[in-house]
Amino acid sequence: MTAPAPRGWCPSLHEPMESGDGLLLRVRPPAAGLRAADARLLARMAARHGNGRIDLTQRANFQPRGFSPASARAFAGAMVAAGLAAADPVVERGRNLLAPPLLGVDATLHPGTAALVAAMAAAMRAWPVLPAKFGVVVDGGGLLPLPMQADIGARPGEIHVGGAMASCDDIPAAATRLAQWFAGRSEPRMRHAVTVLGAGAILRAVGLAPRPAPPAPPAPRSVGRLPGALGVAPAFGALEAAQLEILADLAETGDGTLRLTPWRTLLLPGVIALPEGLITDADDPRLRIRACTGAPGCASGWIETRAAAAQAATHGIPGLLHVSGCGKGCAHPGPAPRLLLGTARGFAVARDARAAAPPEQDGLTLDAALEALS
């Protein structure tokens, strides 16, 4: 295992990131799904070697927390042995593929989706070394369409980059050309290259004919009873190892799998019973709040974000609320209709703003900040 990565990198299983509660790692289940037995193992190893807290990420990954360097190595070894990760750190870092969470369950997915996911995963294993945050999404429409918010997006017959798309018969080959092209650039993400060159120019550079992509679909409801699955959410994406074990047991009353989504929810195909302690109501106000780890788990956080978010959920604040422990805005990088921000002076608020933007008011108590946002 390499030394802990600097803050701002995307951690992987073998390259942990230092945080306020120790090292944190990422586990990337293949095609965003895993068997109940593997989920149970992950939960037990996270409790044994870490602090038992597991975040769900917007890349449909598990992010267990609270490791020491030695316990992180032990946890990583258990994940590799279970087939949930690659032993080679370079290979593991490159497994940033987001697939439809109901693959194999949702009959309304494009019929070529499963084959495209498999072909893209195989192609990515031969790609050049790319930045750790470089990611690919494969969408097939269906009940839970995925946004093309990745460095490379793919649908059967289509490839997407930065708001532009092109028709293509061999999507893995075209994506490989894009990856090879980007590997020769200095930008950290494809979106930065799009800013410099334009998405159309990038697609033309690899022999594709660009056209404008349609607008991204609104985030679908992924909580509650869905056709063929039950959707559950831990409050603010924060899952305890014991809760994951309970969900693993529950998954075995269905098809025996758990599926992750980029909306920080878990889907249990075929499950009917509702678990206690997790959100199963799509109208729960906590689902409209994006909150990072905050203090004390994150060394950068000025406030206890999840406690503040829990209190905010009772105030009837309209629209999406972003609760950020600092100006980095990890939980919601884009502008949010309402922003509750931690600063050295207390709580700050803003509207239609990113976390890094100057706040409208600062130095507030939590009660005063929530009143201002309400």
C-beta separation of 286 from 236 below 8 A: yes
Nearest-CA neighbor of 129 among 90, 98, 165, 163?
90
pLDDT tens digits along 312-351: 999 999 999 999 999 999 999 889 999 999 999 999 999 9
Q: 246-275 burial, b for 16+ CB within 10 Å, e for fewer?
A: bbbebbbebbbbbbbbbbbbbbbbebeeeb
Q: 149-167 burial, b for 16+ CB within 10 Å, e for fewer?
A: bbbbbbbbebbbbbbbbbe
C-beta separation of 191 from 149 below 8 A: no
Return the CATH fold of 285-373.
Answer: Sulfite Reductase Hemoprotein; domain 1 (3.30.413)
For residue 208, the model assigns a pLDDT of: 98
Looking up tokens 């799904």 gives 33
C-beta separation of 114 from 57 below 8 A: no
For residue 233, the model assigns a pLDDT of: 98
For residue 9, the model assigns a pLDDT of: 57
pLDDT band at 161 (very low <50, low <70, confident <90, very high): very high
- CA distance to 27, 133, 269, per residue, from 116 (Å): 22, 21, 22
For residue 3, the model assigns a pLDDT of: 43
**C-alpha span between 288 and 236 (Å, rounded):** 9
State the amino acid at position 135 in one-letter form: G
**C-alpha span between 244 and 228 (Å, rounded):** 20
pLDDT tens digits along 188-238: 999 999 999 999 999 999 999 999 999 888 889 999 999 999 999 999 999
Domain parsing of the chain, residue ranges = 17-88+229-269, 107-142+148-212, 285-373
**pTM for the structure as a whole:** 0.92
Which pairing describes strands 289-291 and 321-324: parallel, antiparallel, or unpaired? Answer: parallel
For residue 4, the model assigns a pLDDT of: 38
pLDDT tens digits along 95-115: 899 999 999 999 999 999 999
pLDDT tens digits along 282-320: 999 999 999 999 999 998 999 999 999 999 999 999 999
Phi-psi region of 21 (alpha: psi -120 to 50; beta: other; left: phi over 0): alpha
Nearest-CA neighbor of 320 among 292, 366, 352, 347?
352
For residue 7, the model assigns a pLDDT of: 38
End-to-end CA distance of the chain: 47
CATH code, residues 17-88+229-269: 3.90.480.10
Cα 346 to chain centroid, rounded = 28
C-beta separation of 53 from 238 below 8 A: yes
Sign of the CA dihedral with 314 first, then 315, 321, and 323 last: negative
Residues 6+ away with beta carbon under 8 Å from 274: 230, 280
For residue 31, the model assigns a pLDDT of: 85
C-beta separation of 243 from 277 below 8 A: yes
- Phi first, then psi: give them for residue 7, nearest 5 degrees: -60, 140
